[in-house]
Amino acid sequence: MNQEYWQEELETMKRPDLERLQTERLKATVQQALKSPFYQEVFKQNGLTADDIQTLDDLRKIPFTTKDDLRAHYPFGLVAIPLRECVRIHSSSGTTGNPTVVLHSAKDLDQWANQVARCMYMVGLRDTDVFQNTSGYGMFTGGLGFQYGAERLGALTVPAAAGNTKRQIKFICDFGTTCLHIIPSYATRLAEVMYEEGIDPHRDTKLHTVCIGAEPHSEEQRKRIEKLLGVKAYNCFGMSEMNGPGVAFECKEQNGLHIWEDYVIPEIIDPVTLEPVPDGEVGELVLTTINREAMPLLRYRTRDLTCFLPGDCPCGRTHRRLARFKGRSDDMIILKGVNIFPTQVEKILMHFKELGSNYLITIETVGYNDEMMIEVELSDLFTDDFSTLQRLEKEVTRQLKDELLLTPRVKLVAKGSLPAPEGGKAVRVKDLRKIC
């Protein structure tokens, strides 16, 4: 039997029924959250009680929770069950100060595995697949999150973890890996190394699907990954505060990520005014967990920028779709009053077959001006002629200017001269501005 859905009833639930389910779970979640010292204090300070939250609209009475709140109440201030009932802790990779940690009960982990399995099933993975996870393991949620999800699905799971490209390729070939979870910049790197080693992924591997996420990327980059590896690439979205992977995922339509609304309540707000934006407009995603007991989060500001896609999805799932992520509200570069996302730059660079996939945006103060320099690697030296290189530079600059509405300085650099991503996220922006 070839079923379409992992949990048909939940995935295709009529909107009014889904909203009833959300309301019920929201009320239970508020009750649960109030067992944590943090939310007790928040509700008290705002003159709220659990009884004030009766409908989905009432959610807006509750103040936002931020990453700073999690840091300030590190490590256990938001935990709503006794610690002996918690079975796992995950944390974000904080570079400064306290990391943000999330605790899980056994039931939370069970739900999470189910959620990830649902996503993987949606893109066509079955228990006959061989799933290789190139995510870092350890405290990072992309490792164990996908591991448990893939096992729940019944796939043969290869916890290859991050890095060591040659070993990854060996596993893919030897184990007959059919699906990878991989960050997009590493996917192109992996493909390049395969070709360098004389391995044609189309011919020599069984790969048919990759799940890509963790860093914003453009449609062009997806297409490139699909072509290089001979796969379908699906976007996934997750964050450690929301467990990890499995929050939202593309279906086979590859047009927006279904956000699982039996799992979280999504809102999209203007990051400056904090008011909800009209449907279809880009804003910051705010999420409320409604299916978690150890550490419920109410109206958590994700910093991720996206918008709801209008209309129904042909796949039959009723959970709304989020547009491709536009970056993070704190990765956004504001230059000369213009908002710029690295994904915009990437989209343009991908048009040029002469250019590689590695680039670096540097913002620096020159005199009294802030300027943008974009270094991009040549895919190879395709010409022996300066004027051709200069024409390429000019054309890249012109197209970037049309997209960004300001003129960056484009600099072609030799292949391999920018730091290559290897498992970790690629560094795309260096902001050297002097803040006066």
Partner 1 sequence: MTVNQISIFLENKYGTLSEILMLLAEANIRIIAATVADTSEYGILRIIVNDPQRAYALLKEHNVSANLSDVLAIVTHSEAAGFARTLQAFTKAGLTIEYMYCFSAGEKSILIIRTNNREAAREVIRRQNMDYLCENDLLKFN
CB of 415 to partner 1, least distance (A): 5
213: which residues sit within 8 A by CB, 6+ positions away? Answer: 142, 181, 183, 235, 236, 237, 238, 245
Given the complex with partner 1, which of 270 and 393 has the nearer CB atom?
393
Given the complex with partner 1, which of 192 and 204 has the nearer CB atom?
192
Q: What distances in angstroms separate CA 222 from CA 2, 39, 105, 292, one per listed residue?
A: 27, 40, 36, 32
Residues 225-264 that bind Zn ion (CB under 5 A): 251, 253
Query: Does residue 413 touch partner 1 according to CB under 8 A?
Result: yes
Considering only 26-34, 109-117, 309-317, 417-425, which stretch makes contact with Zn ion by CB under 5 A? 309-317
93 binds, among Zn ion, partner 1, none (CB under 5 to 8 A by kind): none
Given the complex with partner 1, which of 196 and 275 has the nearer CB atom?
196
The two structure tokens encoding residue 194: 């395969």
227 binds, among Zn ion, partner 1, none (CB under 5 to 8 A by kind): none
Considering only 199-207, 315-323, 331-339, 409-417, which stretch makes contact with partner 1 by CB under 8 A? 409-417
380 binds, among Zn ion, partner 1, none (CB under 5 to 8 A by kind): partner 1
**Contact call for residues 155 and 181 (beta carbons, < 8 A):** no
51 binds, among Zn ion, partner 1, none (CB under 5 to 8 A by kind): none
Size of the site for partner 1 (CB under 8 A): 17
386 binds, among Zn ion, partner 1, none (CB under 5 to 8 A by kind): partner 1
313 binds, among Zn ion, partner 1, none (CB under 5 to 8 A by kind): Zn ion
Residues 361-400 that bind partner 1 (CB under 8 A): 378, 380-386, 389-390
389 binds, among partner 1, Zn ion, none (CB under 5 to 8 A by kind): partner 1
Quick one: which of 265, 315, 376, 404 contacts Zn ion (CB under 5 A)? 315
What are the backbone angles phi and psi of residue 220, rounded to the nearest 5°? -60, -40
The two structure tokens encoding residue 67: 């990453």
Given the complex with partner 1, which of 50 and 373 has the nearer CB atom?
373
Query: Does residue 190 touch partner 1 according to CB under 8 A?
Result: no
Quick one: which of 338, 414, 427, 432 contacts partner 1 (CB under 8 A)? 414
8 binds, among Zn ion, partner 1, none (CB under 5 to 8 A by kind): none
281 binds, among Zn ion, partner 1, none (CB under 5 to 8 A by kind): none
Helix axes 219-229, 184-196, angle to 10 degrees: 30
Given the complex with partner 1, which of 254 and 379 has the nearer CB atom?
379
CB of 315 to Zn ion, least distance (A): 3
Nearest to 264, CA basis, from 12, 29, 81:
29
Given the complex with partner 1, which of 101 and 418 has the nearer CB atom?
418
Quick one: which of 199, 313, 406, 429 contacts Zn ion (CB under 5 A)? 313
Given the complex with partner 1, which of 277 and 413 has the nearer CB atom?
413
251 binds, among partner 1, Zn ion, none (CB under 5 to 8 A by kind): Zn ion
Query: Does residue 407 touch partner 1 according to CB under 8 A?
Result: no
Quick one: which of 89, 139, 323, 412 contacts partner 1 (CB under 8 A)? 412
Given the complex with Zn ion, which of 7 and 329 has the nearer CB atom?
7
Q: What is the 3-state secondary structure (H, E, C) of the chain?
A: CCCCCCCHHHHCCCHHHHHHHHHHHHHHHHHHHCCCHHHHHHHHHCCCCHHHCCCCHHHHHCCCECHHHHHHCCCCCCCCCCHHHEEEEEECCCCCCCCCEEEEEHHHHHHHHHHHHHHHHHCCCCCCCEEEECCCCCCCHHHHHHHHHHHHHCCEEECCCCCCHHHHHHHHHHHCCCEEEECHHHHHHHHHHHHHCCCCHHHHCCCCEEEEECCCCCHHHHHHHHHHHCCEEEEEEECHHHCCEEEEEECCCCCCEEECCCCEEEEEECCCCCCECCCCCCEEEEEEECCCCCCCCCCEEEEEEECEECCCCCCCCCCCEECCCCCECCCCEEECCEEECHHHHHHHHCCCCCEEEEEEEEEEEECCEEEEEEEEEECCCCCCCHHHHHHHHHHHHHHHHHHHCCCCEEEEECCCCCCCCCCCCCCCEEECCCCC
Positions that interact with Zn ion (CB under 5 A): 251, 253, 313, 315, 317
Positions that interact with partner 1 (CB under 8 A): 378, 380-386, 389-390, 411-417
